[in-house]
Structure 1
Amino acid sequence: MPDCPPRTDAAARSFLRGCFDAAIDAVRPGPAVLANLPDKPEGRCIVVGAGKASAAMAAAIDAAWPDVQLSGVVSTRHGHAVPAGRVRVIEAGHPVPDEHSVEAAQAMLAAVAGLGPDDLVVALISGGGSACLALPAPGLTLADKQAITRALLRSGAPISDMNTIRRHASGIKNGRLALAAAPARVVSLVISDIPGDDLAAVASGPSIADATTPADALAIIDRRAIPVPRDFRRHLLSAPPILPAGSAEAILIASPGQALDAAADYARRCGIAPLLLGDALEGESSALGAAMAATALAETDRPRVLISGGETTVTIGPEGAGRGGRNTEFLLAFALAAKGAEGIWAIAGDSDGIDGTEDAAGAFVSPDSLARADAAGFDALATLARHDSYSLFAATRDLIVTGPTLTNVNDIRAVLVC
C-alpha cells in the first residue's frame, strides 16, 4: 500500500501503476469469453473475429469447447497473435489496413458460407478490428482505403466519425459478415473500446449493423475534407442501407467502465478515495491534458485519485509529427499545465499496451518531469507542438512498456493528488 502523501516518488508511481494494472486485469479476454459463452450448437461452430483481443478470445473458446465441431479464422494486429487451437489466426495491419487485412476478410466470408440453421457463428469483436479486417467496397481499392485511413488519422476525427466512414467503405463491415452467415445463428461477443459502448461501432460492426447510412458517411467526408475516389463517392450516393441480420445477437463482455471500476476498487483498497470522471472522454489530447491538470490543481479533498477513460485524438498538421501517441501527448500537456506542482502525479496509457504506433503503452508524469526533460535538452512546449511526446518521455525514462496486453478498452488515466 502506498503512503499518501507519498514519502517517495516511487510510492506514487507504484500506486498509479497498480491502478493501471488492475484496470487491465479486469478486462482480460479469456475470463470474459468464458463467462459469456452461448449455448453449444447442434451443428458446427464457426469462430470468426477481428481486433486486438480476437486471438486471445478465440483461444479461450477453443479450449472451452473441445467436444464441439469447431473451426474458423480471426484477425488481429501484428504482434498480438497467440495460438488459438482449431482457429486460424491472421496478423494484419493497424492502424492502417494491409493485404493481410483483406486476406482475413476473404477467409472469414469463406468460413461462414454454406452454413445451416443448426450451425453457430461466434463473432469475437474488439477494438482494432476496423483495420485488421478490410474488404474494399465498390469503387475502392486497398490503396484507397489506406489513404482514407491515413487522412482520417491525421484529421483528429473522433472514433465515431472514423467508423461511420469505415463501415460504409467496406464489403464486410456494418453487419455484412452476419448476413453472409445466414441462416446460421450469429452471436457476437464484444470487448468495447467505444465511448458509450455502442456495440455496432466496435471494429465498425462486421457482425452488427447500425443505423448510419451511406449519406452519413458522405457528410463526414465532406465536412472534414477527406479525399476519396470519385467512384467511391458515386457508390455512397447510390448504395442502399444495410439491414441487421435477424438471427444476430450481441453480448458486451468487457468494457471501459468495467476497467475503471477495477482501478477505483484498487485505490479504495489502498486507502485513497477515487473520483471517476467518466469512461467516454473525447477531444484533443492536449486540451484534455490541460483541463485535467486544472482539475487536479483545484482539488481540495486530498488524497484523491482522478480516474478517467475514453479515446482522445491528435490532429496532425501538414508539417507532420515526431513520435508519440494520444496518451503521451495528453501527459505532456498535463505536465505543462501542472507546472511542477507538488503532490501531483499522473499515468495514462492505452489498455492494449500500444499508444499509437509506438512500443509504449503510455507514461508517467511526476512533479519534476519538466525539470528532468529540460535537463535532457527538451523544450517541452516545442516538443508538444511537434507531437514528439514519446521522445521526451523516453529521455526522462518515464515510458510504460507492457507489450501487447491482448485486450482493448481504450485509454486508462489516473491522476494522484496528495
Structure 2
Amino acid sequence: MSPDPRGFLRRLYDVAVASALPGQVLAAHLPPPPDPKKGRTLVLGAGKAGGSMAQALEAAWPAEAPLSGLVITRYGHVPPGFKPRRLEVVEAAHPVPDASGLAASEKLLALTKGLTADDLVICLISGGGSALMSLPAPGLLLSDKQAVNRALLNSGAAIGEMNCVRKHLSAIKGGRLAAACAPARVLTLTISDVPGDDPAVIASGPTVADATTCADALAICRRYRIDLPPAARAGLESGAFETPKPGDPRLAGHGLIMLSTPQMSLAAAADAARAEGFAAYILSDEIEGESRVVGGVHAALARAVARHGQPFAKPCVILSGGETTVTVDAGRPAGKGGRATEFLLGCALALQCEPGVYALAADTDGIDGVGPHAGALLTPTSLGRARALGLNPQALLDAHDSASFFEPLGDLLVPGPSFTNVNDFRALLIV
C-alpha cells in the first residue's frame, strides 16, 4: 500500500491532466501551411483550453508562414508567461456568458469574411466554448442567452441536452461557424470534455453539422421547465433557428482531429497506478447522472471490493470520468460546491467511514463549478472529522453546499486552472 493515499491520488489526477495538455498533443496534428502566394491560415477557437491551444499552435507553426486569428478562453485561463505574438487571445466569462464573450464572438465571426478556397482555417475547440463563444441568434439579446444558460445549468439536464438548446439559440454554434468559413478548408482540433466524445456536443459543435432540431430543443425546454424568452420560443417554433445539417455542402471536406479525450486521460492515470504497484480499473469515461447518486453508486462498488473482494480484489484503484449534474431546486439558493465535491459528499454519506477507502474527484480544468477549487479528497475519517467540527453533512448536501464540508477539513483540491479540460476525474483507492 502507498504510505500516502492522498499523495498517490493527487499524482493520478496530475498525470490525467498532464496527458491532455495541448503542448503535449497538438503539434503532431498540424497540417502544412497553404502556399503563401495563394492562401492564408486563420485560427479561430474557444474553450477553457483555448489559451494553451493557441500557445501550442504558435510555438509549433513555422515562423515564416503567415498566421492570424482569435481565440476565446475563460478568465484566468491564459497560461502564465504566454504573450501571443500572432494570435489574439480574449478572456470571457464561464459558465454564464458576458459582454466580453459577446464582443469577441462578433469579431471572431467577422474574421471569416473574404475567405477563399485557398485559405486554411484551424479551429481550436474545447469544453467551455458554449458559454465563451456566445453570439445570440437574430432577435435575441445577451440577457436572453444568460437567462437560458442559468436555467439550464440548474435544471439537471445532461450536457448534450443543454448544448442542443444552446446551439439553436446561437448565431455561431451548431455548425454555423464552419458554414461561415466556406469555401475555405477547415480543420478542427478539439479536446473532448463530453461523454461519448461527440464533436457536435463539444462546445456546442461550432464547426460540426448538427443532427438535432429546433423541435428537439423545444422538447428539452419543456422537459426541464426552462422559461424561454418570447423571441427564443418564436425562433424555435418557426424553425428559423435551425442549424446546418449533415450533408450541408458548406461543410464538405472539413477535417476534425480529437487531440485528447477523457478515456485517454483515465488510461494514463491507470498506467501510473500500475507503475506504483496497484491494479487499476476504468469503469467508464461516460458516466452521467446526479452527482450525489453517482457518488452513492461508486461507494457501493468500493464497499463490495473492501468487504468481499468483488468485483475486484484489493488493493486496487477504480477510475471513472464523464459529466455528472447537480440539480438545484428552483427558488432555493445553492451553496458553495460543484459536481466533484457533491459526488464526494454523496459518496462519504454512503460509505459511512468504510475503512481503507479513499477517493479523489476533481474537474480536470482545475475549477469545480465556480471554484476556486477543482474538487476534493475523501478519507475514512472525513465524516468523523466534519461532525467533530459541528458540521451536518446531510444538510450541506441538501443545500448543494458540499465545498463547505471539505473546506474546514483542509481537503479541498485547489490546483488552479490546468489549461486543458477533459471533464470529471474520479479515483477510488481501496486498500
TM-score range, shorter chain: over 0.9
1:188 match: secondary structure: strand
Q: Distance in 1 between matches of 2:157 and 2:376?
A: 24
1:286 and 2:279 correspond: no
**Residue 327 of structure 2: which of 315, 318, 323 is its match?**
315
CA contact (8 A) 2:168 2:243 kept: no
CA contact (8 A) 1:97 1:131 kept: yes
2:421 match: secondary structure: coil
Q: Distance in 1 between matches of 2:178 and 2:104?
A: 15
Q: Distance in 2 between matches of 1:168 and 1:38?
A: 31
CA contact (8 A) 1:63 1:85 kept: no
1:60 and 2:47 correspond: no
**Residue 260 of structure 2: which of 243, 254, 258 is its match?**
254
CA contact (8 A) 1:192 1:408 kept: yes
Q: Distance in 1 between matches of 2:106 and 2:34?
A: 24
User: How far off its partner does 1:203 sit?
Assistant: 0.4
1:101-124 superposed Cα distances (whole Å, 9 cap, x missing partner): 111211111212101111110000
* Unaligned ranges ≥5, structure 1: none
CA contact (8 A) 1:50 1:125 kept: yes
Aligned to 1:327: 340
CA contact (8 A) 2:328 2:334 kept: yes
1:251-274 superposed Cα distances (whole Å, 9 cap, x missing partner): 111000000000100010011001
Q: Distance in 2 between matches of 1:305 and 1:314?
A: 25
1:124 match: secondary structure: strand
User: How far off its partner does 1:213 sit?
Assistant: 1.0
Q: Distance in 2 between matches of 1:151 and 1:383?
A: 22
Q: Distance in 2 between matches of 1:110 and 1:31?
A: 31
TM-score when scaled to structure 1? 0.97
* Unaligned ranges ≥5, structure 2: none
**Residue 272 of structure 2: which of 266, 272, 286 is its match?**
266
User: How far off its partner does 1:85 sit?
Assistant: 2.3
Q: Distance in 1 between matches of 2:409 and 2:298?
A: 22
1:307 match: secondary structure: strand
1:341-379 superposed Cα distances (whole Å, 9 cap, x missing partner): 110000000000000001011000000001111122211
Q: Distance in 1 between matches of 2:267 and 2:200?
A: 23
TM-score when scaled to structure 2? 0.94
2:325 match: secondary structure: coil
The letter for the 1-side match of 2:96 is: V
**Residue 303 of structure 1: which of 311, 315, 319 is its match?**
315
1:384-404 superposed Cα distances (whole Å, 9 cap, x missing partner): 111111111110000111100
Cα gap change, 1:206/1:241 in structure 2, threshold over 3 Å: closer, same or farther?
closer
Q: Distance in 1 between matches of 2:25 and 2:214?
A: 34
Q: Distance in 1 between matches of 2:167 and 2:40?
A: 28
1:200 match: secondary structure: coil
1:210 and 2:210 correspond: yes
User: How far off its partner does 1:129 sit?
Assistant: 0.4
1:91 and 2:91 correspond: yes
Task: Give 4+ residue runs of structure 1 displaced > 3 Å after superposition.
Answer: none
1:264 match: secondary structure: helix
Q: Distance in 2 between matches of 1:343 and 1:169?
A: 49
Cα gap change, 1:194/1:144 in structure 2, threshold over 3 Å: closer, same or farther?
same
CA contact (8 A) 1:53 1:127 kept: yes
CA contact (8 A) 2:163 2:204 kept: yes
Q: Distance in 2 between matches of 1:395 and 1:290?
A: 23
Indicate the larger mover: 23-32 or 292-301. 23-32
The letter for the 1-side match of 2:355 is: E
Q: Distance in 1 between matches of 2:262 and 2:57?
A: 22
2:407 match: secondary structure: helix
Aligned to 2:12: 19
1:35 match: secondary structure: helix
Alignment of 1:6-405 (within 5 A): 6-7=2-3, 11-42=4-35, 43-65=39-61, 66-82=63-79, 83-238=83-238, 239=240, 240-243=242-245, 244=248, 245-299=251-305, 300=309, 301-317=313-329, 318-405=331-418
The letter for the 1-side match of 2:244 is: I
2:289 match: secondary structure: coil
User: How far off its partner does 1:229 sit?
Assistant: 1.4
Q: Distance in 2 between matches of 1:223 and 1:397?
A: 39
Q: Distance in 2 between matches of 1:122 and 1:382?
A: 48
2:324 match: secondary structure: coil
CA contact (8 A) 2:324 2:339 kept: yes
Aligned to 2:428: 415
Q: Distance in 1 between matches of 2:50 and 2:269?
A: 24
The letter for the 1-side match of 2:52 is: A
User: How far off its partner does 1:183 sit?
Assistant: 1.0
Percent identity for Structure 1 against Structure 2: 51
1:217-244 superposed Cα distances (whole Å, 9 cap, x missing partner): 1111111110111221111122244134
Q: Distance in 1 between matches of 2:34 and 2:56?
A: 17
CA contact (8 A) 1:55 1:84 kept: no
Q: Distance in 2 between matches of 1:101 and 1:315?
A: 26
* Alignment length (residue pairs): 411
User: How far off its partner does 1:84 sit?
Assistant: 2.9
CA contact (8 A) 2:210 2:243 kept: no
CA contact (8 A) 1:53 1:76 kept: yes
User: How far off its partner does 1:151 sit?
Assistant: 0.4
